[in-house]
Amino acid sequence: MQVEQIDGRILDYEGTFDEMLKIGSEQMRKGARSMKIFRVPVSSKKKKKLNKISRESRRVNRK
């Protein structure tokens, strides 16, 4: 997982959505008014993989 932070904002992010939310909630605990997280533009191949992962997790959640 790679994270690049500038004044609390996550600019360059690679990782799962859960990890992203975890970092966001840490920021909220530190007193940030909102979760300032920006997804980094990922390649289409990687995006398809991420979508597939999230689709699978949704399928599991529905059961």
Q: Cα(50)–Cα(18) distance, rounded to whole angstroms?
A: 12
Region 37-54: mean pLDDT is 62
Region 10-30: mean pLDDT is 65
Q: Is the pTM of this model over 0.75?
A: no
What's the number of domains the chain is made of?
1
**Structural domain harbouring 54:** 2-62
What pLDDT sits at residue 58? 64
- Confidence band (pLDDT; 50, 70, 90) for 22? confident
Q: Cα(35)–Cα(23) distance, rounded to whole angstroms?
A: 9
- Confidence band (pLDDT; 50, 70, 90) for 26? confident
